[in-house]
Structure 1
Amino acid sequence: MTAPAVTTEAAQLLKRAKELTEPELRKAVDRLAEPVRPVAAYHFGWCDEAGRPVNGDWGKGVRGALVIAAAEALGAGPEQAVAHAASVELVHNFTVVHDDLMDGDRLRRGRPATWAVFGSARAVLAGDALLAAALEVLAHRCPRLSPAAVRELADALLELVAGQGADLAFESRADVGLDECLRMAGGKTAALLAAACALGAVAAGADERRVGLLREFGRHLGLAFQLVDDLLGIWGDSARTGKPVGADIRLRKKSLPVVAALSGGTPAGARLAELYGRAGPLDDAAVSRAAALIEEAGGRRWAQEEADRQRSSALGCLAGAELVPEGAAALASLADLITRRDV
C-alpha cells in the first residue's frame, strides 16, 4: 500500500471515529456543572470565550480512533467501544488542559489555550471535571465491563502522572539519561495510548493475552508518537501543529532529541549543554542555535530512527493477536499516520 493511500485510509478512520465519539463527549460535557461547563466546551472548540456556539476543532481524536479500531480488529461493532473511546478522549483532554498551564503554552489548536482565556484556577477545575467525567462514562455506560476498564484507565493515569512529574523534574536537572527519558515518555504519552488500545480489546471482550498484545502495540506506538511530537516541537510548522514551535527549548525541556544530543559525547552536545545551562530566558536566536546544535549532535537523527524502531515493534505486536485482517490494516494505517508526520 502506498503512503498516500495509507494517509487517506487513516484520515477516514479518524473522521468516522470522531463522528461516533463526539456525541458522547458533548453529553459528558453538558453534564458538568457551572462554572466549568463553558470552560470545557471552549477547550473542545464548541463555543467561544463568551459561550457563543462555534464549530471549532477538538483535535484529531487519535486515541478514540485507536479504541474503536482495536475493538473492530477483534470483531466487535464500533458501538461497543464508543463509550471507552469517549472516556480516553476525556482523559487526554484533561491532560492537555493541565499541560498547557504547567508549560505556560498560550496556544492550543490555533487559538488561545484554556488557561490563557479563563485563568489558571478555572482551567484546573475544568481539567479535573473532564477526568471525573471520563470515569463516569465508563461506570454508567459500560457497567458490565467497567471494573476492567476502570482498572486499565487508572493504571494508565498513575503512569501518566509519574511521567509528567518526571518531565517537570528534568527541567531543573542537567544529568538526565536517555533511558530514564524514554521511561518518562512511556508514562507521559505511551501509557494512555496503551490504555486506549487495551480498552478497545476490553470492549470487544477479548481475553487477557490479546488485551496485553494490544496494550503493547499502543505502548510502542505511544513512544513513537512522543518521539515524533518532540521532533515537531523543535522543527515543525506551528501553522500545522497548532502549537508554538520552540516552546520546549525555551523551557529547557529535556525532550528526547535534546537528551540524545546531550548524551552523545559530541562537541555540539557540549555546546548545547552550555547553552541550556545559561542563566536567564532563551531568546529567538538562542532557540534557533539550540535547534541547530541538537541536529548537529545527532539528536534529530536518533529520534527519527528510534521512532521508526518503536513503530516496527508496535506492528510486531499485532501479528499474534489474531485480528480481523481489515482491523489489523486499520491499526497499521493509524500507526503510519501517527509516526510519519512531516518532521
Structure 2
Amino acid sequence: MTALGSPVRESARHVLARCRELVRPELRAAVGRLHPWVAEMAAYSFGWCEVGGAPAGAPGGKGVRQALAVLGAEAAGADGRAGVPAAVAVELVHAFSLLHDDIMDGDATRRSRPAVWQAYGTGPAVLAGDALFALAVETLAASPGEPGTVRLLSAALADLVRGQADDLLFATRPWTGPERVTAREYEAMAEGKTGALLGCAVALGATLGGAPRDTVTALDRAGRHLGVAFQLVDDVLGIWGDPAVTGKPVGGDLREGKKTFPVLAALGSPAARHLPALLGSAEHAEEAAALIEATGGRTAALAEARAHTAAARELLTAAPLATGAAGELTGLLDLLVGRAL
C-alpha cells in the first residue's frame, strides 16, 4: 500500500473532489424537488444547512459512491457526465440508509452533529429517508440510459436490506457456542450492508457509459470486495484508530459490544475465552483490545482486508477499462482501505 500523503493518495483525493463538483449541482437540484420540509432534512443530512434551513458548511461525506459512478462511466470510455444520474441515485440511497441506520442503531450523532432523528425527531427522519429512497429510484428511472439500471439498483437495495437485517440480528446472538456469529457470516453481512451499494455505484456508471455486461459484472464484484475491505479496516480503526483521524473514541466499538471482525476472529482462539466478559464495558475496553490483538484478531482482520483489496485490484486489472479511469479507480481503492494496512 502507498504511504499516507503520497502522490497517489493526493491524486485520489483530487478525484473525489472532481467528482463531487460534477455531481453536486444535480444532487442539489434533485433534493430541491422534495417537499420543502423534507428537503431541509435532506440538506441537513448532507451538511448543507442547519436546522431551520440556514446555510452551513458542515463536513459531509467523502462522496465515494458518487465518484465510483462517475469513474464507472469513464472506465467504459464515456464522459463522466454520463454517470451523473447514477451518482445522484446512489448518493441519495446512501443518505437514506444512514438516516435509517442511525435510528436503528440509536446513534445520536453523525459527522460531529446531531443525527437527523435527534435534530428533527424520529418520525420526520424516517419520512426523509423514505423520500430520499423514492427520489433515487425516480432519478435513475428518468435517466436517458439503459433501462436495466433500475434493476441493478433494486438488486443492490435488496442486498443492503439483507445485510442490515443480519447486522441487527447479530446483536441478539451469543459470543460463543453453536449460535455464535462466524467471521464468514460477518463478511457476508458486510458485503450486503456496505459492498452492495459500492458495487452498484460503479456498475451503474459503467452501464450508463455503455460498458458490456461482463465489464459491468466485474466492476460490481470489485466494488463489493472494496466494501468488505473498507468495513474490515473500519473495524480495526474502531478499536485501535486515532480519534483525531477517525472522529471516533478509542475502543468505542468494544464499549458498545459490537460484533466486529477482529473480535469474532479473536474468539476463535482458546486464549480469548475470557474476552466475552470484557466486551460492552468501558472499564475493560483497553484490556479487551489488548487481548484481541494478542490472540490474532487485528492481524486476521487486516489480512482479510488485504485479500479483498487484492481481489478488487485483480478484477480491475483484468477488465477492459479505459486506462485513466482504471488508474483512478485503483487509486481510490488505495485511499479507502489503505488507512490501516
Structure 2 length as normaliser, TM-score?
0.93
Q: CA deviation at 1:136?
A: 1.2
Partner of 2:318, secondary structure, is: coil
Map residues 92-171 of structure 1 onto 2, 5 A cutoff.
Answer: 92-140=94-142, 142-145=143-146, 147-171=147-171
For residue 169 of structure 2, what is the amino acid of its counterpart?
Answer: A
Secondary structure of the structure 2 residue equivalent to 1:53? coil
Work out the CA distance in 2 between the residues paired with 1:323 and 1:37.
37
Selected match of 2:224 from 212, 219, 228: 219
**Residues 240-260 of structure 1, C-alpha deviations (whole Å, 9 max, x = no match):** 333455443333221111111
The equivalent of 2:177 in structure 1 is none
User: Deviation string for 1:12-64 (max 9, x for gaps)?
Assistant: 00000111111111112111114322111111111111211112222100111
Q: 2:331 aligns with which of 323, 330, 333?
A: 333
Please tell me the residue identity of whatever aligns with 1:300. Answer: R
Per-residue CA distance 1:56-98 (angstroms, 9 max, x = gap): 2221001111111121122110110011111111111111111
The two structures have a TM-score, normalised by structure 1, of 0.93
- Give 1:301 shift: 1.0
Correspondence 1:189 to 2:191: no
Native 8 Å contact 2:257 2:281 kept in 1? no
Tell me: CA distance 1:44–1:16, structure 2 relative to 1, closer, same or farther (3 Å).
same
Distance in 2 separating the partners of 1:26 and 1:310: 34
Distance 2:181 2:112 in 1: 32
Report the 3-state secondary structure (helix = DSSP H, G, I; strand = E; otherwise coil) of the residue aligned with 1:125: helix
The alpha-carbon deviation at position 167 of structure 1 amounts to: 0.6
2:43 corresponds in structure 1 to 41
Correspondence list, 1:248-327, <5 A: 248-262=253-267, 264-267=268-271, 269-276=272-279, 282-327=280-325
Separation in structure 2 between the aligned mates of residue 297 and residue 2 of structure 1, nearest angstrom:
28
Check the 8 A contact 2:69/2:87 in 1, yes or no.
yes
Asked if 1 retains the 8 angstrom alpha-carbon contact of 2:225 and 2:308, the reply is yes
CA distance in 1: counterparts of 2:215 and 2:173, whole angstroms: 39
Root-mean-square deviation (CA), in Å?
A: 1.7
CA 1:150–1:242 in 2, change beyond 3 Å: closer, same or farther? farther
Q: What's the CA shift for 1:335? A: 0.3
Greater mean alpha carbon deviation, residues 193-202 or residues 233-242: 233-242
In structure 2, runs of 5+ residues without a counterpart are 175-179
Distance 1:120 1:304 in 2: 36
- Post-superposition CA distance 1:187-230 (Å, at most 9, x none): 11111111111112101111111111111111111111111111
Deviation at 1:235, TM superposition (A): 2.0
- What is the identity, as a one-letter code, of the residue corresponding to 1:257? P
Q: Residue type matched to 1:323 in 2?
A: L
User: Structure 1 residues 159, 86: closer, same or farther in 2, change over 3 A?
Assistant: same
Counterpart-to-counterpart distance in 2, 1:211 and 1:133: 24
State, as a whole percentage, how many aligned pairs show the same letter.
Answer: 50
Once the two structures are superposed, residues 102-158 of structure 1 have per-residue CA deviations (whole angstroms, 9 ceiling, x without a partner) of 112222112222112112111111111111111111112x1442x311111110110
Opposite residue 45 of structure 1, the aligned amino acid is G
Deviation at 1:180?
0.9
In structure 2, distance between residues paired with 1:42 and 1:315 = 35
What amino acid is the match of 1:77?
A: D
For residue 77 of structure 2, the aligned residue among 72, 75, 78 is 75
SS in structure 2 at match of 1:49: coil
- Write the deviation string for residues 251-293 of structure 1: whole angstroms up to 9, x where unpaired: 322111111111x2231x21112334xxxxx442223332222
